[in-house]
Chains A and B, each alone.
Chain A
Amino acid sequence: MADSADAIRINGTAVEPPGDPRVSLLDLLRERLELHGAKKGCDQGACGACTVLADGERIVSCLALAVQYTGREVVTIEGLTGEDGPHPLQRAFVEHDGFQCGYCTPGQICSAVGMAAELERGVPSYVTDDLAAERIAPGRDEVRERMSGNLCRCGAHNGIVAAITETYGTEAR
């Protein structure tokens, strides 16, 4: 399928939307495209394991119907790994042991990439002191608050936060 408006662009490749309108973006990725990086943890938007980036925004792909993403640019964990190797955040997750089982990890990483863009745009959270700031520093509390939609049951929270704060700035809050 060429670059028509009816295609979903996934990691730079045009993909035909599924015929069955019930198919979630997550199931399109996992069951039809064999892109298993986005994980299914709850299928109801509660755990964040399926997080991907749609036009740079982090979304839970289990709550996204695939057919709604025609004409949009979707990036999954597979797309974050560049030609020249892993994304710096991927390396930082390994270095800081930001995971154990690895199941929530792709969602955590995609979510953190989307979150960093929100900080850059100055989107405040409830722990932000200066609501008018043009750019918000990724301090520990900002990161912990903003990453709370991504569950980790192994308890790798400290390593995840360390990896994110190291990658996107080290200003402590």
Chain B
Amino acid sequence: MSKPDNTVKDALALGPENWADGEDPLARRRGGRIGAPVSRLDGPLKVRGKAPFAAEFPVEGMAYAALVFSTIAKGRIATLDTAAAEAAPGVVLVMTYRNAPRMRPMQQFDSSEKAGGADTLPIMQDEHVYWNGQPIALVLAETQEQADHAASLVRVTYEPGHAVTSFAEAKANGTDTGDFHGPLHLEIGDAEEALRAAAVSVDVTYRTPPHNHNAIEPHATTLAWHGDELVVHDATQLVTHTAWTLAHIFGVDESQVHVTSPFVGGGFGGKLVAQHQVLGAAAARLAGRPVRIALPREGVYRLIGGRARTEQRVAIGASEEGRFTALIHTGTSATTRHSAWPEPFMLAAHSHYAAETFLLDLQTAYVDMVANGSMRAPGGAVGVYALECTVDEVAAKLGMDPVELRIRNEPATGPTDGRPFSSRHVVEAWRTGAERFGWAGRNPAPGAVRDGEWLVGMGCAAASHPYVRMPGGAARITLTDKGLARVEVAAHDMGMGTETAQTQVAAERLGLEPGQVSFRYGDSALPGLVPAAGSQQSASIGAAVVAAQHALVAELLKLVSDDSPLAGLEADEIGAVNGGLAKLDEPERYESYASILAGAGRDEVSVEASGPPPLEMMNWSMHSFGAMFCEVRVNAVTGETRVSRFLGSIDCGRVLNPKTAGSQLRGGIVMGLGLALMEETQFDERRGRILNASLAEYHVPVHLDVPEIDLIWTDLPDPHAPAGARGIGELGITGAGAAVANAIFNATGKRVRDLPLTPDKLL
């Protein structure tokens, strides 16, 4: 044991055991590792092309899979001729409903604790076709070229049934109230009456098309059965759910499926369990061979549903002074019978503004298509777009500055639930953002600023995303006699910087240097249910590590010798500092971890604990916020829009690592630019087929579309969030699209309510 030689820091008390009211002492601590712009720990591996992705795990004796996709949206397979495919060179197996093993359907993600499926359909079990693009045959061959060729030889005819592929027909068939952790319906007061009585009102309909995630890494799985044990190298954002789901489908124990996913080439909500992992595992079982199934880009569009189409009514009534008297956000989103996943666009209206009355409702209409699902900021991306454009319309009608209108309607508590805010600094974000962006220089008159053939405009919009911490977070901390810590969580790093930021946080919490902490993730054998979803990983991991640290300290206190300076102390008297523990108010009573372990003759101490239930979400209204500012130049001749400047003024609690956090926020904003200007999955309403199933025809923002994106943040810790940090993964895409659209209105005077805002609509 030794007295700490570096006493710049006080010992850090343990985090709260209950986050409902507890505050994290780490949240307000400054000057440590948290907030340092550390470069990604996996960066050197990635820039050398040495980070192994799912389709890059070598497995001895592996066969390659190719899929055949249905070309009708509903009906039956009438004839299926696989003879030519079976006879093609290199073919190992052709699997169809006739020879596929019996399998249970998937359970849909969010429907039970560990379910991770995208739909609930039978998987290649019978002749029925449920969507245009459904896999109807799988070919296994020695090489990918052979598999692809043989797949082209499968001959199939269909007896088509009546498919509902038009949104109008789907709506006419009747809708259901959407369910997203509860029915998507809320009424407070009589909003329709308040709207009618309002001094100023806007009542408009916004339409948004389907979107696809388009992670640059296509979905891929390399897997092998060893008896009843299945080893899966997958591109997934939920390793534990994937293991459980595959075990459930194949009737083996969860512990017999081992899923690793150390690197994922982007997820954005799209990398859950879909039919390809299941079919790959089925084919591997049938053929007795390891299998790699790497979807071609077209296959990603056919198998992986994205964000559903929406039609949203937003109506706002306001007083002469601009105070909202009515806020109505209702409408319909498309979904399928086999996923029933609403695109919950009206969620943000619960928390953005104070209003005297509310009417919020979402109806789902059923279309025969690939199961739609979660895509970055479900509901928020397209819902905040419609809401924030409508607020801009109200500002224009009132002749009021859009920033001032928003500030005027800033609520004192959660507007629809009355909960106190855990931490909300929206007004500060607006003020500092407006100052930095030069908002005061905006000409409020639409179409008034021209630079040659370019019309120039500025717009703004609020962004928000709820704080989420899902139940099930758990962590293992292993401390070695060298004083090193290994933190293990079955979490994910798809590029968010999880490993890097969590190493920083864990080091600070345990009183270690980052080089003394390793963070392991991306493996279903590790503890916890921590899906990379809902922008919740930092909170989930954070609370789990706090719980594990409590267990660790309790264990260490059992190990200290009677003459240790720590002898006789209780956990709540102790904090972590300088590679050991010290009494909080008597820091000279200190012993290093290495000394404690050596004294007890232990090589290592390992503890595992689960984070407590996320009660903070019940007690507080918790959201991340942003004030987004955009300048566009719209060509008066061609109608093309160039985003020339963008600023995000962010209030997301503590920023753990400004380098990686900045990238994540910018990434969301870039996707918001795409949402506003170019992104659309073109769904053929006659055939139910996606027409632009290609990165050449689904346009995502490219380098020339992306300006320098400026970011500032309040960096004010949220006392009820682990390390003071709320989520940021999805925040950026909310608000960004509306800021672009509102800038286009300011530039041109045109209010287009149908995304994307392509040149043809602006001419």
Q: Assess A20 versus B297: contact at CB under 8 Å? Given A99-B46, A155-B663.
A: no
Residues in chain B near residue A55, CB distance under 8 A: none
Smallest CB separation, A134 vs chain B (Å):
24
Q: Assess A151 versus B145: contact at CB under 8 Å? Given A38-B49, A43-B297, A101-B494.
A: no
Q: How far is the CA of A31 from the CA of B46 in the complex (A)?
A: 19
Q: Assess A46 versus B695: contact at CB under 8 Å? Given A20-B145, A76-B49.
A: yes
Check A94 against B47 for contact (C-beta < 8 Å).
yes
Q: How far is the CA of A102 from the CA of B46 in the complex (A)?
A: 5
Of listed B55, B144, B264, B669, residue having the most chain A CB within 10 A: B144
Q: How far is the CA of A22 from the CA of B659 in the complex (A)?
A: 43
Check B667 against A147 for contact (C-beta < 8 Å).
no
Of listed A27, A76, A152, residue having the most chain B CB within 10 A: A152
Check A151 against B700 for contact (C-beta < 8 Å).
yes
Residues in chain B near residue A91, CB distance under 8 A: 47
Check A37 against B145 for contact (C-beta < 8 Å).
no
Contact mask A31-65 → B, CB, 8 Å, 1/0?
A: 10011111111111111010000000000000000
Q: How far is the CA of A106 from the CA of B217 in the complex (A)?
A: 13
Check A101 against B217 for contact (C-beta < 8 Å).
yes
Residues in chain A near residue B49, CB distance under 8 A: 35-39, 76-78, 105-106
In chain A, what residue has the closest Cβ to B664? A100
Q: Assess A86 versus B668: contact at CB under 8 Å? Given A148-B703, A156-B663.
A: no
Residues in chain A near residue B296, CB distance under 8 A: 43
Choose among A23, A36, A44 the residue that contacts B52 (Cβ–Cβ < 8 A): A36
Smallest CB separation, B621 vs chain A (Å):
29
A161 within 8 A of B: yes
For chain A, the count of residues having a C-beta within 8 Å of the partner chain is 61
Of listed A31, A93, A94, A155, residue having the most chain B CB within 10 A: A155
Residues in chain A near residue B56, CB distance under 8 A: 30, 36
A81 within 8 A of B: yes
Choose among B50, B143, B214, B497 the residue that contacts A153 (Cβ–Cβ < 8 A): B214
B527 within 8 A of A: no
Query: For chain B residues 708-732, which have a beta carbon within 8 Å of chain A?
Result: 708-709, 732
B694 within 8 A of A: yes
Check A20 against B53 for contact (C-beta < 8 Å).
no
Smallest CB separation, A125 vs chain B (Å):
10
Q: Assess A154 versus B663: contact at CB under 8 Å? Given A38-B49, A46-B694, A148-B703.
A: yes
Of listed A42, A46, A100, A145, residue having the most chain B CB within 10 A: A100
Binding site for A on B (CB under 8 A): 39-40, 42-53, 55-56, 58, 143-145, 149, 213-218, 263-266, 268, 294, 296-297, 494-497, 659-660, 662-664, 666-671, 694-696, 700-706, 708-709, 732
Check B47 against A103 for contact (C-beta < 8 Å).
no
Q: Assess A41 versus B48: contact at CB under 8 Å? Given A97-B662, A101-B264, A155-B669.
A: no
Check A153 against B268 for contact (C-beta < 8 Å).
yes
Contact mask A137-158 → B, CB, 8 Å, 1/0?
A: 0001101110111111111111
Q: How far is the CA of A119 from the CA of B216 in the complex (A)?
A: 27
What 8 A-B pairs are tightest by C-beta distance, nearest first? A37-B49, A100-B495, A103-B265, A155-B667, A102-B46, A101-B495, A155-B670, A94-B43
Check A31 against B143 for contact (C-beta < 8 Å).
yes
Smallest CB separation, A50 vs chain B (Å):
11
A104 within 8 A of B: yes
Q: How far is the CA of A46 from the CA of B297 in the complex (A)?
A: 10
Check B48 against A77 for contact (C-beta < 8 Å).
yes
Binding site for B on A (CB under 8 A): 20, 22-23, 27, 30-31, 34-47, 49, 76-78, 81, 86, 90-91, 93-95, 97, 99-106, 109, 140-141, 143-145, 147-161
Apart from the given pairs A20-B145, A94-B47, 13 other A-B contacts in the complex at a CB distance below 8 Å: A30-B55, A42-B695, A46-B696, A47-B695, A100-B494, A100-B496, A100-B667, A101-B217, A101-B263, A102-B46, A155-B701, A156-B663, A158-B709
In chain A, what residue has the closest Cβ to B217? A103
Q: Assess A109 versus B47: contact at CB under 8 Å? Given A156-B667, A157-B670.
A: yes
Q: Assess A102 versus B265: contact at CB under 8 Å? Given A42-B694, A44-B694, A47-B216.
A: yes
Q: How far is the CA of A158 from the CA of B671 in the complex (A)?
A: 13
Q: Can you list 29 A-B pairs, Cβ within 8 angstroms, ordered by A?
A: A20-B145, A27-B144, A40-B294, A41-B217, A41-B297, A42-B297, A42-B696, A46-B694, A46-B695, A46-B696, A49-B216, A86-B44, A86-B47, A94-B40, A97-B43, A100-B664, A101-B215, A102-B47, A102-B51, A102-B265, A105-B49, A151-B700, A153-B213, A153-B214, A153-B216, A153-B266, A155-B666, A155-B701, A157-B706
Q: How far is the CA of A108 from the CA of B696 in the complex (A)?
A: 17
Check B706 against A78 for contact (C-beta < 8 Å).
no
Smallest CB separation, B220 vs chain A (Å):
9
Residues in chain A near residue B143, CB distance under 8 A: 20, 23, 31
Smallest CB separation, B139 vs chain A (Å):
15
Check A27 against B43 for contact (C-beta < 8 Å).
no
